[in-house]
Structures are given as C-alpha cells and as structure tokens.
Amino acid sequence: MNPTLLDGLRVVELSAYVATPLCGLTLAQLGADVVRVEPLGGAADRTRWPLSDSGTSLYWSGLNKGKRAIAVDLESEADRRRVADLIVDGDPCVVVTNTSRHADLGYEALSARRPDLIHVLLDGRADGGAAVDYTVQAATGFPLLTGTGTEPVNHVVPAWDVCAGLYLAVGLLAAERHRQVTREGRSIRVALEDVALATAGNLGYLAEAQLTDHERTKSGNEIYGTYGDDFETADGVRVMLVLLTERHWQKMLAATGLADAFAGLSEALGISFATESDRYRHRDVISPLLARWFRQTPYAEVAETLTRHRILWERYRSFAELGRDGGAALRELALFGKVDQPGAGAHWAPKSPVQVDGARLDPRPAPGVGQHNDEVLGR
C-alpha cells in the first residue's frame, strides 16, 4: 500500500523551532513535498540541543525529516521575490510560517498574485504578541499543578508547540479540502496561547475554576478524579498503575488477592470503592495496601500478573534505556525505521504515527543547508 495521501501537495515552510516544523513534518510523512526556506547559513534552530557527538542538531534533524531545503537572503528583496515566485507559480501551493516579518511573503501580498493560495500562520498570542511554549505554559495554570513541590514546574514536553503544530496541519488540510471544492484560498491562523487555553477549557479545568470553589493542588503521579499512582516492586522497579473503571478495579483485586482486605476496609470504615470518584476520594486507603503488594512482589511477577489480568500499567523507562544497544527496543516497533542522517549517523527514527491502509512512509534524512537550491530555485 502507498501511504502518500498528500502526493502532489507542495508546502513552502518558513519557520523555526517546534510547531511549524512539526506541521511540515506531519504533511511530509503523508507524502507532501515540503520545502523548508532558511536564511543563508541555516536557521537558528539548526544548532538546538540535543546534539550528536559531531555537533549536528538531532532536534532539527528529527523535525525536518524528508523535507527539501533552500537557503536565501531573506533580507534581500530580490531573494524574497524568488521565494514568492516559488509560492505563486505552478501548482497550487500552501505556505506554513511562524513569522509575519516580511509583508511581501504574507497572505495579502501573495494572495493578490495567487487567489487560491492557502497561507497558514502561527502566532504567539492572538493579539499578535510574542510567546513561546514555555511562556505560554506559565500563563495556563498547568505548571502550578505539575510535580510535587511548592514551585511551578514547566513540563519538559513542549505540549502546546506539539498541539499547535497539529492544529496547523488540521487547519491547513481543511482549507485544502475547501480549495478542492471551490478553488478558493484561505488564510489560517493559530495562536499558541489559544491552543493552550482552549485545551484547558476543553478538559474542564477552566470551567471548574469558574463554577466551583474547589482549588486544584499538586498531586504528583496521582490522577485527578480517578485512581492512578506509581509503585516500586520488590526488586526496585517503578511502575505506573491506572484503574479507570469498576472492571479495572475488580481485575486489580483478583490480580493482587486483596479483595477480602478491601471488603473489610469498606465495612469497617463505612466507605465504598465502587465508583471512580470513590476510589479517588479514598486513594489514601487504597495506595498503602497496593504499595505493600508491590513491595513484596518481584517485577517479573508483577508484569506477568498485571498483563494476564489486562490491567493498565507500565514500567518507567529512560531515554537511555530506549536507545540502548543501538535502539534495540525501538527497532522492534513498526513505528520506527532506519535513517542515516548526515552529520549524525544511522539510527532508528519515527515514521508517521498515522497508518494509511496499514502502511507508512519510511523516514528520510533531514536536508542540509541549501541542499535543494539548484533543484528548487534553479541555482
């Protein structure tokens, strides 16, 4: 099966860092021809950590796999004109960018030359103000609930960049469908801060703050409103356990042999463990008994028992463990394919998480600075 659903779609990407490159990567992994436009010498994010031993940015390489790259002087009106010509000439094109610095590469100027243009822009804030994932995190409330200490903790995953990149791709593809039907272009804008606040609202966090007097506090690895926590086995392996439903609860009781113990506690304390809310309210009673079972049980037995009872669990693994022995754990997964990245070396890199008729494109190396200038611009 050929998973190139976007074959024939040309995307010109003027971007940096996470969200917009991720949008382009998402499209490239589905068959779009994505051309990354950089300043002479390469974009600022080409040096961002993590780096290979040779100094090649593994971050940049990961987000730009399978794209073509051109390097131009974006301060030169003549070079910007060449980029504009690339956008408006030939097949219908899409622009993905996170900058409105150059008006001649903006939607109004380009659509005046090409009315069916789709232009996708990432803003920091909806009012045009500057923001990045880590500043947006600070404004959402989530860092005040993350971790266990008293200080706010920004998440190591740039979640709002990731979400924004995928929202950009969704908006772009919606506009492309509209263009297929009407032959009309569209301007699509997504603000990073809007993505974060929309998510906080969609998950009920903001409604809770408006409609109740309940003030959320940090809970570590406990899962708010349901039962979940981490435990250590007899041989020192830490695992995460999640019990969402009554069925999960009953399976846990059967797996651990604690049914009678919890029945006795329920009767003695006059409490119930029947509902998700009950189990969250009484987690201070549940966790000590479960912790005792885990402490007395070696990891191999924990793994076999919980898996056999189809309980939601997983052990904690480090990036180092996932990459050990040449990525042995990764090469067993259909998501990963071998790629030989110049400047970094051969390693296992992800394909698209999206399967098309059970297939995905193999990963391709990220391009060098200006690698496709001759091919794309004729020089």
Average pLDDT, the chain: 96
156, 241: one domain: no
- Here the CATH number for the domain that contains residue 258 is 3.30.1540
21, 168: one domain: yes
Q: pLDDT tens-digit profile of 129-148?
A: 999 999 999 999 999 999 99
β-bridge partners, 12: 35, 95
- The pLDDT of 370-376, averaged and rounded, is 95
191, 313: one domain: no
Q: Sorting pLDDT into bands at 50, 70 and 90, what band is 379?
A: low
In a domain, 206, yes or no: no
* Boundary (domain end) residue, out of 271, 292, 318: 318
188, 89: one domain: yes
In a domain, 4, yes or no: no
In a domain, 108, yes or no: yes
* Structural domain boundaries, residue 242: 227-318
* Boundary (domain end) residue, out of 275, 291, 318: 318
Q: What is the pLDDT of residue 216?
A: 87
In a domain, 31, yes or no: yes
Report the C-alpha gap between 328 and 136 in whole angstroms: 36
In a domain, 213, yes or no: no
- The pLDDT of 196-215, averaged and rounded, is 95
Cα Rg of the chain, angstroms: 25
Q: pLDDT tens-digit profile of 247-306?
A: 999 999 999 999 999 999 999 999 999 999 999 999 999 999 999 999 999 999 999 999
Task: Find, among 273, 279, 266, the residue nearest to 229 by Cα.
Answer: 279
Chain centroid offset of residue 10 CA? 23
293, 345: one domain: no
343, 312: one domain: no
- Active-site entry in 33, 79, 161, 229: 161
Q: What is the pLDDT of residue 1?
A: 60
Consecutive H or E run containing 206? helix 205-211
Q: Tell me, yes or no, if 161 is annotated catalytic.
A: yes
Q: Is 203 helix (H, G, I), strand (E, B) or coil?
A: coil
Q: Considering the chain, what percentage of its residues have pLDDT values greater than 90?
A: 95
- Give every CB contact of residue 99 below 8 A, 6+ residues apart in sequence: 14, 15
Rounded to two decimals, the pTM is 0.94
Q: What is the pLDDT of residue 92?
A: 82
In a domain, 121, yes or no: yes
190, 263: one domain: no
Q: What is the largest CA-CA distance in the chain?
A: 82
Task: Report the phi/psi class of residue 227: left, alpha or beta, with left for phi > 0 and alpha for psi in -120 to 50.
Answer: beta
228 DSSP 8-state letter: E
The packing angle between helices 159-182 and 19-28, to 10°, is: 50
In a domain, 207, yes or no: no
Domain total in the chain? 2
160, 296: one domain: no
Phi, psi for residue 95 in degrees, rounded to 5? -110, 130
Buried b / exposed e along 275-307 (16+ C-beta atoms within 10 A): ebebbbbbbeebbeebeebbeebebeebbebbe
Q: Considering the chain, what percentage of its residues have pLDDT values greater than 70?
A: 99
- Residue written as tokens 């998973």? 3
Q: pLDDT tens-digit profile of 294-349?
A: 999 999 999 999 999 999 999 999 999 999 999 999 999 999 999 999 999 999 99
182, 142: one domain: yes
60, 141: one domain: yes
- Here the CATH number for the domain that contains residue 69 is 3.40.50.10540
Q: Sorting pLDDT into bands at 50, 70 and 90, what band is 3?
A: confident
Strands (DSSP E) contained in the chain are: 10-14, 33-39, 68-72, 93-97, 118-123, 186-191, 227-232, 238-243, 312-315, 336-341, 345-350
Q: What is the pLDDT of residue 378?
A: 86
Phi, psi for residue 375 in degrees, rounded to 5? -65, -40
95, 169: one domain: yes
In a domain, 327, yes or no: no
Task: Report the phi/psi class of residue 265: left, alpha or beta, with left for phi > 0 and alpha for psi in -120 to 50.
Answer: alpha
3-state DSSP of 128-157: CCCCCHHHHHHHHCHHHCCCCCCCCCCCCC
* Boundary (domain end) residue, out of 291, 318, 345: 318
238, 167: one domain: no
Question: How many other CB atoms sit within 10 Å of the CB of residue 155?
Answer: 14
Whether pLDDT at 2 is above 80: no
